[in-house]
Amino acid sequence: MQSIPLRRFIGNYLRRSTCNHHAFRIMSTATGGNLNDVESAMEPTQTQIISQSQVIDPILVNIARTTLTDTNIAVTPIRQAWIENMSTPNSIKLGLMELHPNIFSIHPRPDVIQENHKWQTLYKHVDWTCMKTRSELRGSNRKPWPQKGTGRARHGSRRAPMWIGGGWATGPRGPKTYFYMLPFHKRLAGLISTLTSKLAQNDLHIVDTFETFPLDGTVEHLEELCETRGWGPSVLFVDQIDVSQYPMATSAQHFQQACESINHMNVMPVYGLNVYSMLKHETLVLTIDAIRTIEQRLLFNLNRIDLRNVTHKQHPNPIRNM
């Protein structure tokens, strides 16, 4: 992206020069991406005579060199993580798994993570406070005393807001919801930033599958496994499928029942993964299938061509959107 303005500047600079033929020859060579051709093209040959007024400014060479050098963008290295087992309390390394750098190796955005946390905290909050107005209070609407002759201030009802026990004029009128929709790109950036932060802090672990959990595994076995590996105190287990889809009398179902008996351990399907749950739990444990599903869905939304239809509100008239 940095090379486009510089090339445009070179073109404007060369168009103002007196040597049009030689200038555009250098311009076409510079945009081709070969610095040696640019320098060789700037040297006059025996068949081409360049006068003193046609000499190219040395700053042009520096601009071309900077332009071609800045186009070499450094590639982000691929992150790797160990795959662990679930059959024994002690961790057994089953191999290395490569993680996509666009999901697990970006620069985290704490401000976006905080916006996601605030959004998820407020959208489920409802204020039920409702203060009664003067028309909703019980009691008579009779005038407390005559309008004139008593020497006191005039009043028309004891339910007026200025009276003690009267109605509220500008009080809260619930229920009131604090729901608002966070922009799509911020929700997406919040998930990616949280996953990157968890991996960088060594709080993200990958296991092969929950099917390898022992059939005779109990709550004590699961607590011993987490304590031995340093997971916790709160752990969030994420699988590709929902816990209700686990077959009966299997290792995965025993694992799910053991997690239900522990308050600080939860099992969640991959489609329910969110920023609030990842921040609430200290350790995040994902299966191999869950990792692949997360990468596939996040990369699709990062590179989708119809992103404008998601981030911008479309007008019902299609002509207005053209």
* Residue 89 scores a pLDDT above 60: yes
Q: What pLDDT, on the 0 to 100 scale, is given for residue 153? A: 94
Residue 138 burial class via C-beta count within 10 angstroms: exposed 0-12, middle 13-18, buried 19 and up: exposed
**Highest mean pLDDT out of 59-63, 256-260, 314-318:** 256-260
Token couple for 1: 């992206």
pLDDT at 309: 61
Phi-psi label, residue 172: left if phi above 0, alpha if psi -120 to 50, beta otherwise = beta
Nearest 5°: phi and psi at 298?
-70, -40
Q: How confident is the model at residue 6 (pLDDT cuts 50, 70, 90)?
A: low
Cβ 271 vs Cβ 190: under 8 Å: no
Q: What percent of the chain has pLDDT over 90?
A: 55
Residue 78 pLDDT class (50, 70, 90 cuts) = confident
What pLDDT digit, counting tens, does each position of 180-200 carry? 999 999 999 999 999 999 999
Which pLDDT value is given to residue 157?
A: 93
| Locus of tokens 């998820």 | 120
Full set of structural domains in the chain with CATH: 3-70 (no CATH), 79-109+181-311 (3.40.1370.10), 128-177 (no CATH)
CA 158, 164, 165, 168 dihedral sign is: positive
pLDDT tens by residue, 7-47 = 555 555 445 544 444 444 444 444 454 444 444 544 444 44
Number of alpha helices (DSSP H) and beta strands (DSSP E) in the chain: 12, 8
Average of per-residue pLDDT values in the chain: 79
Which one, of 20, 96, 31, 106, lies nearest residue 63 by Cα?
A: 31
User: 71-83 b/e with 16+ CB inside 10 Å = b?
Assistant: eeeeeeeebebeb
Lowest average pLDDT, out of 27-41, 100-114, 148-162, goes to 27-41
In which band, very low, low, confident or very high, does the pLDDT at 203 lie, cut at 50, 70 and 90?
A: very high
- Distance (Å, rounded) from C-alpha 240 to C-alpha 246? 11
Residue 321 CA: distances (Å) to CA of 150, 305, 309, 313: 70, 16, 10, 10
Backbone φ and ψ for 150, nearest 5 degrees, come out as -100, -15
CA dihedral 185, 187, 193, 196 (to 10 degrees): -110
Q: Tokens in use for 295?
A: 């990468």
Instruction: Kindly state the tokens that stand for 189.
Output: 């950036």
What CA–CA distance (Å, rounded) separates 213 from 232? Answer: 18
User: 278 burial class (0-12, 13-18, 19+ CB within 10 angstroms)?
Assistant: buried
Query: Is 115 or 40 the better-scoring residue by pLDDT?
Result: 115
| DSSP state at residue 181 | P
Instruction: pLDDT band for 49, please (50, 70, 90 cuts).
Output: very low
Quick check: 14 and 26 in contact, CB under 8 A?
Answer: yes
pLDDT(317) > 60: no
Token pair listed for 313 = 């509100």
The mean per-residue pLDDT over the stretch 110-122 comes to 96
Largest CA distance in the chain: 119
Give the pLDDT of residue 222: 92
* CA distance linking residue 92 with residue 307, whole number of Å: 42
Q: Residue 8 has what pLDDT?
A: 56
